[in-house]
Each structure stands twice: as C-alpha cells, then as structure tokens.
Amino acid sequence: MIFSTQRCAAVLKLAFWLGIATLGISSAQSEVAVSVSPQAYAPDVREISLSFSAPMILPGQKKTTAPATVSCIPKDAQLKIAQDGWINDRQWSMNLSERLPSATLCTIALHDNLQALDGSRVKAGPWSFNTGGPNFHPYDNDERNFGEDGVVFFYSTHPVDKSSLLNNVTCRVGDSGAQALQWLDDAEMFRAARRRHPYHRDVTALRKDYPNLLAGRCPQAPLDNGAQVTITVGKGVTTPWGATDASDSTTVLKVRPKFQVWLRCRRNIPGTGECDPRHGVSMHFSALVDGDHPQLRLPDGSALKSNPRWGPEEYIGPIAEGDTVSVVLKGEIRDIDGRPLSNPEVLRKGFEFGRFPPYLGIPLRIGTLPWKNSQKIPPLWPVVVRKLDPQLEVRQSHVGGNEDEETASKAARLWRSVAALQTEYYQSSKPLPRLEDFNWPQTLFVPTRGGEIETVGVPLGEPGLYLLEVESPAWSAYFTTSDQEHDPKLFSQNFQNQDEYRRAKNFMWRASRMAWVQVTNLNITVPLGSDKDALVWVTTIDSGLPVEGARVDVSTRMASYFGGEKRMRKAWPKPLPTWRKVTIMKATLSFSTARIWPWSASAGMTLTPDKGSAIPFLIVNCSGREKRSTFNACCANIA
C-alpha cells in the first residue's frame, strides 16, 4: 500500500511536468508567420500574394478556399481577378487582369480561425496597400492667373480629406521660410476664381465643372509682381479612405505682372521694320478687362473694325500708309480684379503705321506673248512699279533668226541662270554668267506716273525671243541700302563669307529685274501619255493646226541640247520630245509624275494666223522627277 501511494505520487509528478512541457511546445508552435505583398505604397499592382511559415494545406489540395479576403475602396476600384489559388502548401497568390486605378486602398484580412495543418494559429492582420494619393496638385496657376493675393488653386482626380491638408501644404516666397497655406471656404474661393472662370454664375456652377477644386492663400500675401513662389504638397495629403502618395511634390509659380496693355503690329513691312497697314494692329491686355475694350479710330474719326477673340483683340483696316490711330477711352480701364493700368501712356500716344518703300517687280520673268502683225499695236510685257522715277530704262536684246550661234548660246546660258532663280537660292556655288558679256542693242524709256502701284507695259517688236532688263535709279538706291536680312540657315549652307553673299544678292537683285519673253503667233505644247514618249506640238495660236516644216530642238538648263531621237539621259527611257504632223492630237506619256506646260501671258489681242513666221526660240517649263533626278526649265527651239 505504501508502495502504491509512492508510485501514484511519482506518476502524478511526471504527468505534471509532461503537461508543462507539452504546454510549452504548443505555445511555441501556436502562431504561424505570414509574409504579405504588396504593402504600403504600390503604384502598379498586378499580383497579391501571401506566404506562410508552415504548411497550410495538404499536398494536392490547391483548390482549397482562399486564406484571406481582399477588399478595396473606393467602390469603383474593383478587383479584376484573372486567376487565384494555392501555388503550394505555403503560398497563395491572386493575379489581376488589369492594374488597379490610382488612389485605391486595399485591405488584406485573414479568415477567422485560420489554422495551419498542425493546428497552429496564424498571425493576425490585417495588412493594407494603396496605389497612390489623390493626385492633389496646383491647377491653372500660370503667370497670367497667379495674382498678388497669393491664392493658389488645387485640383485632384479623387476627393481629398481636408483635415489632411493642414500643415501638409506649404508656401515659400523666394528664399524665405515655408508657411502652411490658409484654406478658403467656397464663397472666398468663388470670388478668387472669377478671373479664371468669369462665366460661372455662382459656386454651384463652379462646383459642377470642377468638383474637386480647392483654394488656399499664401500667408505672405500680398505678393510682389514677378515673385517666385514654391508650393509643396506633402505625402501626408490623403483621400478620405486613407490613400496617400509616397513622396512630396513641388511646384514653382510666378506672380503675374502688373496690369498692362500692348499695341502690337501684326506684321512689319519687309526691309523697313515699320508696321504694315494692310494687316492692322492688335491690342493685348495682361489680364481680363472689366468692361469693353477701348476703340481705335483713324484720323478721319472712323473706327477700326475689331475682331474680338479669346486673347489679343485684332483691329483691321482699311488703313492707309502713314496713318496714326488714336485710342478712345470711356473711362479708366481696370481688370476684373480692380487693378488700374500700369502703362496708360501706351494708349494715350496711339499707334503709327509705316509707309511702303519703292517697288519694281516683273510678275513673270519667263513667258510668251501673242504677236499680231495685221495691226500696229505692239505686244506689251507688264512691269509693276511704285514711287519710282518718271520713266523706266528698259534694255532690250532681240534674238532673231539671223543671230549667230555665239549670241544664241550666250542667251541660252543667261536664260538658264535666270530660270534657276525661280526655284533655287542664289546658286552661289555655281558659276553665274556675266551680264556684261551680253550685248544690249536697244534701250527703251517707258514713262510712269511716279505714284502708287501701277502696271506699265514694255512694248516689244517683231516675233522672236527678247531678253529685257529694267533699270530704275530709285529702286537700285533703295535695294542696295535697305537692310535685307538673310536666313542664317541658308546663309551657312550656301555662302562661305559675307562678300560671297553680297555678290549673290546683287546678282539676284539684277536677275529679278530681267525677263525672257517670247513673242510669237506659234504655240508649243508637250502632252504626256502612257507609252513612255512625249510629243511636242507646234501650232498657230488662233487655229490650233500644226505648223508645217517645224523643227524642234530641246535644251535643259544644264546646257544639254538634244535633237531628233536622242535620249536625254541613259537612266531615262525616252523622254525626248519629238514632233509629228497630225491634225488629231493624241497624248502619249513620258513620266507618270512629270508635268510639262508652256509659260504664257495674254495681252488680250485678237490673233491672226501667220504660217510664214518662224522663230528661233520658244520657252517652255519642263519639270518632273525620276530616280531622284529633277529636270525643269527647258528651252525649246523651233525653226
């Protein structure tokens, strides 16, 4: 009995210590650690995963219920799950088909009574992450709008927890210390927003268009014009549900200038820098005007027509050269914030337009005129002048059928150089012919009125090719002394130095006063067809019938002459124009992208056929493109 009592006591003691040990072991295994991803700030979420430190499911049971619930706010931020489930006995994952929108806050909560396989408890959550804050940033605060009152407007893509704004948004002026913004109520914000949104009638209308608009004032106000202000939005600014950004953001603003006005010329007269009256003037204010804009009046008292629009107000003519417009004010001009003009003297002195310089121009430097020999009215070639000498000196050379080959060759080379100026910039890198080498056997004097724009006619004589050069001392003096600016890019590409540019400019100026004119009663056309051939048709202008016995040669401006059935270049199939005598003109083709047509100028005369006339040259313009090669400005010789 004594033995049994002692044995029983020993068993109880052993059971006690075993219980204590078992309790310790159970306590050590009672909690399973969990690793959750993502957490905190995660702007681009495509997967949510949980990793456990102990087995949670039996092998092969991957379709077991998810261990946690993932919920997101706001309500429109719904999880679009592509696939979720257990990867193995310790890892669970949820893959999303679309990334979560910004300012989304998600919470991951484990299911109640979640245990590992051995019965151990799992560490409790919950865990959360967000895809960013409300995107709270300064809005519409450019130099035109950010005023001396220091009011800064903010906008966000999502609602903002207004309590989080306190001490999280600061204003620093220049190098001074940063201070927290003072936030405005809706009534104060509406008054401050009037200069930005003048068409909103009340706060309700403003809120309808800008539901998340807020405004704060820098405590350093009033601010100096032109001062630099730094606005810092801290990462503590959150949505009402707690979504926040990962870092602070900074915006630098500049206080608007004083209320000013400018009268600006819309376009200057080339070569003079004065205002061109044909294009009017614009009036520009640095802020919105409270009331109507001033009127601009001409010297005769008539008001200029205005073209009001969002921005500068434009005033257009008709305005005469040299006119000075005055500004009619209906009282003091203020902006919608009540600020007076800081430069009213601009309006008091008005605006003066410039005067046009002398002008000499030849509308067409290459062309043809019909010739009529039955009457004594000569063909006239037009020249446009303005405020020049009482008479123009026109030097004239006539290349006729009896001219020697050397004279004709000089004429052709000179014509090609003049024609090159139609499309190329000065051609300074290529040798230009010396005009002094050309003979000018005849000089004409054509009278002008010497006033405003007028067109004068240069009379021409017998049929043939004429080279004309118009001289005017007044035009020469203006052109050579006016400050004609050059294009720096073209200057660097085409000229080595200023002297080379000046020589090319002088040649261009002289060539601009020259013209090649064909006087004829014959007409040349070059129709194009689809069989890689071209026909040159020589006809009388009045009847349109082919001229018998005509011979056609073609030269390009690259000084290449062709006749008969020769090819222009080996790379080209057969673009040589040939003449055929037929009464029905059937077009055939040279190039699909080519265009060939005659230059012509009508003198308004009735033409008389003259099949006995023959002329040495007829100018046509040939242009096209084949294998990156361009040809244009061809001269056709008809005899």
Domain CATH for 164: 2.60.40.1220
Q: Are residues 196 and 71 in the same domain?
A: no
| Rounded Cα–Cα distance for residues 100 and 16 (Å) | 56
Q: Which of 469, 487, 517 is the last residue of a domain?
A: 517
pLDDT at 593: 26
Q: Does 156 fall in a domain?
A: yes
- Tokens representing 141 are 């605060």
Cα distance between residue 208 and residue 195, in whole Å: 18
**Domain of 173?**
137-254
User: What pLDDT is attached to residue 3?
Assistant: 42
Quick check: 130 and 74 in contact, CB under 8 A? Answer: no
Residues 434 and 392 in one domain: yes
Q: How far apart are CA 292 and CA 92, in angstroms?
A: 70
Q: Are residues 363 and 510 in the same domain?
A: yes
Contact between 575 and 531 (Cβ < 8 Å): no
Q: Is residue 114 part of a domain?
A: yes
At 621-630, the pLDDT tens digits run 333 332 222 2
Q: What is the pLDDT of residue 250?
A: 92
User: What parts of the chain have a pLDDT lower than 70?
Assistant: 1-30, 62-63, 141, 143, 195-199, 271, 307-311, 372-376, 399-440, 480-498, 501-508, 522-639
Q: How many residues does the chain have?
A: 639
Rounded CA separation 414/617 (Å): 14
Question: In this structure, are 201 and 152 located in the same domain?
Answer: yes
CA-based nearest residue to 370, from 626, 598, 30: 598
389, 508: one domain: yes
How many alpha carbons fall within 13 Å on the CB side of residue 524?
36
Q: Is residue 260 part of a domain?
A: no
Say yes or no: 293 and 332 in one domain: yes
Please state, in angstroms and rounded to a whole number, the distance separating the CA atoms of residues 292 and 336.
11
The reply to whether the predicted model has a pTM over 0.75 is no
pLDDT of residue 570: 36
Domain match, 380 and 470 both? yes
SS3 for 364-378 is CCEEEEECCCCCCCC
Phi, psi values for residue 599, rounded to 5°: -80, 135
CATH number at residue 52: 2.60.40.3710
Q: Sort 331 into a burial class: Cβ within 10 Å, 0-12 / 13-18 / 19+.
A: exposed
Q: What is the pLDDT of residue 83?
A: 87
For residue 404 the two structure tokens come to: 């020697």
Residue 441 resides in a domain: yes
Q: Is 5 part of a structural domain of the chain? A: no
For residue 144, being part of any structural domain is answered with yes
> Parallel, antiparallel, or unpaired: how do β-strands 169-173 and 179-180 relate?
antiparallel
319 and 274 housed in the same domain? yes
Residue 89 in any domain: the answer is yes
Q: How many domains does the chain have?
A: 4
Contact 514, 469 (CB under 8 A): yes
pLDDT of residue 357: 83
Is 21 exposed, middle or buried, given 0-12, 13-18 or 19+ CB atoms closer than 10 A? exposed
Spell 563-581 as b/e; 16+ CB within 10 A means b. Answer: eeeeebeeebeebbbebee
Pairing verdict, β 249-254 and 169-173: unpaired
233 and 159 in a common domain = yes
**Where does a domain end: 64, 97, 130?**
130
- Same domain for 153 and 248? yes
In the prediction, which pLDDT does 438 show? Answer: 56
The answer to whether residue 601 sits within a structural domain is: no
Contacts for 175 with CB less than 8 Å, ≥ 6 apart: none
Both 234 and 376 in one domain: the answer is no
Nearest CA to 314 out of 354, 279, 268, 275 is that of 279
Based on the fold, state whether residues 405 and 489 are members of the same structural domain: yes
Which among 103, 130, 157 is the end of a domain?
130
